[in-house]
Each structure stands twice: as structure tokens, then as C-alpha cells.
Copies of this chain bind each other. A is one copy, B any other.
Amino acid sequence: MSKISQNSTPGVNGRSVIHTQAHASGLQQVPQLVPAGPGGGGKAVPPSKQSKKSSPMDRNSDEYRQRRERNNMAVKKSRLKSKQKAQDTLQRVNQLKEENERLEAKIKLLTKELSVLKDLFLEHAHNLADNVQPSSTENTTNSDNAEQ
């Protein structure tokens, strides 16, 4: 399933995306294209409000580019980590399932052992009862266990 892709070019400084703002609230109007030409100044903030601090953050600036690249790395890292964790969790499930089975088996064994011993015990009691005197305390010495 799925493969990966070739990565971004290392040394190449690839300005690529324009991505007009449209984030945050999902919807957005104002097409607002930022010419952002190579030498073009990023001074194209819409008249609505050029808030955002006080600088539209030129998408050309080296600093911007650097920040982006760094963030991209961080994102990649974070996602990798996340994926790893998910996988670990999945593994943990299997592990627990296995252990569960083990325990269940052990319980079964112990239960059986117990049952045998109890039976022996009962038998013995009966013998005693038959041999010795039929006292009045040995009659309903029954204790059956019914586990689920």
C-alpha cells in the first residue's frame, strides 16, 4: 500500500506555493492575490484589514522561507512520531491479548486442579462418614462452585 514519494529538493530553494490566506475559519472571501513577485513587494494586503500584526509577512523573505522549512521538518517529525505511537498502541493490544489468553489458560488449569482436589476431599469425607459414626455434621457437605 502506498509508497512514499521523492522528497523535496534539499539545496534548492523552492518557493512554490502561494496559498492565499484562507485558513483559520475555513471560509474566507477576498481572493486577494498576492503578486509576490520575486522582486515584488508583498505589499498587497486587502483593504479590509491589514491587521495581522503589522506585516503581511512577505512570502519571499528568506526568513519566511526558513521558518517554513523548519516547520515542515517539525511537522514531518511530529507526524512520524504520531504514527509510531499509533503503531505501538496497536502492538500493545496484541500483547495484552496474548497475555490475556495466557492468564485464561492458567485459570482453567487452576480451576481444574482445584476441582480434583475438592473431589478427593469429598470422597475422603464420605469414607470417614461411612466408617466412623454418622455424625450429624456430615451430610450436606456440598459446595459446588459454579464460576462463569
Contact = CB atoms under 8 A, between A and B. Distances in A.
Contacts of A13: 28-29, 31
A89 B86 CA distance: 9
Contact of A96 (B34, B35, B100, B147): B100
Number of copies of this protein chain within its complex? 2
Interface in A1-50: 1-2, 5-6, 8-22, 24-38
A24 B14 CA distance: 12
A25 B2 CA distance: 18
Nearest to A103: B103
A147 B146 CA distance: 9
Contact of A12 (B28, B92, B104): B28
A117 to B, nearest CB: 5
A110 interface: yes
A67 interface: no
A132 B25 CA distance: 90
A98 to B, nearest CB: 10
Given A110-B111, A114-B117, A145-B143, A14 B26 contact: yes
Interface of A: 1-2, 5-6, 8-22, 24-38, 86, 89-90, 92-93, 96-97, 99-100, 103-104, 106-107, 110-111, 113-114, 117-118, 120-121, 124-125, 128, 132, 134, 141, 143, 145, 147
